[in-house]
Structures are given as structure tokens and as C-alpha cells.
Structure 1
């Protein structure tokens, strides 16, 4: 781990990772219900954002561990991602617009995001 940066730089780095987590969860939820039309006119659900959630949260947590050895601080982007997912889930009560679908793909997205972000925090660098 590098240690030639100030505490302010570390806080700033974690902040930007948290902001990236918020943007990520919004895009992953919006594009979760993507469908591909096959050459016979049939449609196929392609929840590619599940893979993106796993990999991107993995990168966020590993990058946060470069800024701090404290697991709770390195886990902030993951907690922000989870908080964003919960906020988007309950957004329907605020605006009436359902962003997170009531289906198994949404649960798989949540599981993939938590698994990807939690893996580096549990396994270490």
C-alpha cells in the first residue's frame, strides 16, 4: 500500500469512489431489464448489469483498500452502493415510479453487487 499521500487525499479518493458507486448503481438498475431481439422476432432478457455490478464493485473496493488499510473505510463505496440500491427500491413511494423491478433479476443484482464489493474486504488485497 502506498502511504505518500495526505489524509485529505485519501478522503477525497474515497469520496470519488462513493460517487462512482452511486452512478454505477443507478445505471445498473436502469439497464437491468435490457432485452435483446433475436433473429426470429423472439426476445431474450440479458441482465448484463449483474456482471457489471460484481466487477465494478470489486474494483471500487480494491481501489479503496489502496487508500486505506481500514476495512470499514474501504467499505464505504460498497455501503453507498447498497444505500443507493435501497433508495432506488423505495423510490416508488416517493414518486410513484418503480425503478427496481420486483423480480429475481433485482435480487441477483443486489447479491452480485454485495459479493463483488465485499470480496476484497473479506479476502484482503
Structure 2
């Protein structure tokens, strides 16, 4: 009978690998933020009834959780592990302030935007508060 060996995790990284890994996680955070904002105003049409269906709110929670948990694999330091969350939050606030610069409003003025922000922060903070 063959023994099943446990996976081997690499824990030694060069500084360049760490910066590269966290940079790609930051790019993923920005890409997810843009998609979450674009599809936040989704409506679900059921017959003659149209219902708001902000499916990107749970996506923001879950994807930010995955990004932060992945960042924890790169670094045990909470500040470095929070890089994807910080990038996501900075991007969110840039989109929030965008009308002051260009006049084009990208985020609506409704409760869905507030809930998206809270869900994104909560999902990103969860792996930092409860590491496993």
C-alpha cells in the first residue's frame, strides 16, 4: 500500500518573489473591484417584476477573503498580508472621489455601495483576524 505524503509548502521567499506575489494579488484586487462596481447595479427580471440583485456584494466578501488568505501564505506579517485589502480600499475610495475630478459618477448614491464597502473590508479582514 502506498503512503500518501502531505504536500510540501515552501516558506522561504526572496524579496523579489514576495513583492511580485503581493503585486499580483493587488492587481487581482483592483480587477475584482472594477467588476464588482460595474455589476453592482444588476437587476433580475422575473416575469414583469424587476428586482435589484447585487450579487457582487457576496463576491466582494469572498474574493477579498481569498486574496488576503493567499497573501498570508506569502507573509505572516499582517501589514504585508493586508496588501490586497489595502489596494482594494484605496481603489474604492478613488472611485468614490472620481466625480470630484472628472464629473463622472462611477459609484451610485445608494445603500448597495455602503454594503459593498463593508463586505469587501469584512472579507479582507477575516483571514487577518482569524488566521488558520
Question: Shorter-chain TM-score: which interval?
Answer: over 0.9
CA distance in 1, matches of 2:11, 2:44: 47
With a CA cutoff of 8 Å and minimum separation of 6, indicate the structure with the bigger relative contact order: 1
Q: Deviations over 1:60-99 (max 9, x none)?
A: 0000000001000010110000000000011111221111
CA distance in 2, matches of 1:88, 1:28: 12
Choose which of 46, 60, 67 in structure 1 pairs with 2:74: 67
Give the gaps of 5 or more residues in structure 1.
none
- Please report the TM-score for the alignment, with normalisation by the length of structure 2: 0.90
CA distance in 2, matches of 1:2, 1:113: 29
Show the counterpart of 2:88.
81
CA distance in 2, matches of 1:66, 1:2: 9
Show the counterpart of 1:20.
28
- Please report the TM-score for the alignment, with normalisation by the length of structure 1: 0.95
Choose which of 113, 116, 119 in structure 2 pairs with 1:109: 116
Choose which of 29, 46, 49 in structure 2 pairs with 1:42: 49
Stretches of 4+ aligned residues off by more than 4 angstroms? none
Show the counterpart of 2:40.
32
CA distance in 1, matches of 2:10, 2:65: 19
CA distance in 2, matches of 1:78, 1:64: 10
| Matched positions, count | 124
CA distance in 1, matches of 2:14, 2:26: 19
CA distance in 2, matches of 1:9, 1:122: 25
How big is the shift at 1:7? Answer: 2.0
Show the counterpart of 2:58.
51
